[in-house]
């Protein structure tokens, strides 16, 4: 077996794993009713699925002798922006009051809210 054949098989396995993760993320997005629970499907599972698909693309390009850095840049952008956007969507949902209110943190009324601490109001 040559290195090219091994890379092609690894790319095929990565494609299958990535497709399963993307499918689970899509089913979760359709099945969950609450916006806060819907966030977990595309951000957690979908990010890993897309990462595996991009890894398959990298492996296949290496097997063909035409390596590229585009997939690595896409992965970096995806892994940085997906959690940040999910955090913003969750914050907006909490502040709009369209979800179940999270439990209050102990001894701090300013955590995860727009309330200013008592020291700043003086």
> Is the confidence at residue 105, as pLDDT, over 70?
no
Can you list the alpha helix ranges (DSSP code H) found in 32-114? Answer: 35-38, 40, 46-63, 70-96
The string of pLDDT tens digits covering residues 38-83 is 887 777 787 888 889 999 999 999 888 888 888 889 988 988 888 8
Q: For Cα atoms 62, 66, 68, give the angle at the middle one, nearest 5 degrees.
A: 80
Residue 114 lies in a domain: no
Residue 105 lies in a domain: no
The string of pLDDT tens digits covering residues 10-42 is 999 999 999 999 898 888 888 888 877 788 777
The pLDDT of 77-103, averaged and rounded, is 81
> Is the confidence at residue 103, as pLDDT, over 80?
no
Q: What is the pLDDT of residue 122?
A: 47
Residue 73 lies in a domain: yes
Residue 11 lies in a domain: yes
> Is the confidence at residue 101, as pLDDT, over 60?
yes
Residue 64 lies in a domain: yes
Residue 65 lies in a domain: yes
Domain interval for residue 72: 3-100
Does the pTM surpass 0.75? The reply is no
- Give the span between the Cα atoms of 79 and 55, in whole angstroms: 13
Residue 38 lies in a domain: yes
Q: Quote the number of domains for the chain.
A: 1
Residue 117 lies in a domain: no
């Amino acid at each position: 077996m040559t290195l090219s054949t091994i890379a092609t098989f690894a790319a095929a396995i990565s494609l299958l794993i990535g497709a399963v993760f993307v499918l689970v993320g899509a089913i979760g997005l359709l099945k969950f009713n609450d916006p806060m629970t819907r966030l977990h499907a595309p951000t957690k599972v979908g990010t890993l699925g897309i990462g595996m698909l991009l890894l398959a693309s990298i492996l296949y390009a290496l097997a063909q002798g035409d390596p590229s850095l585009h997939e690595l840049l896409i992965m970096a952008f995806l892994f940085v922006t997906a959690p940040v956007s999910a955090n913003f969507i969750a914050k907006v949902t909490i502040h709009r009051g369209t979800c179940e209110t999270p439990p209050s943190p102990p001894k701090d009324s300013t955590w995860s809210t727009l309330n200013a601490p008592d020291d700043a109001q003086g």
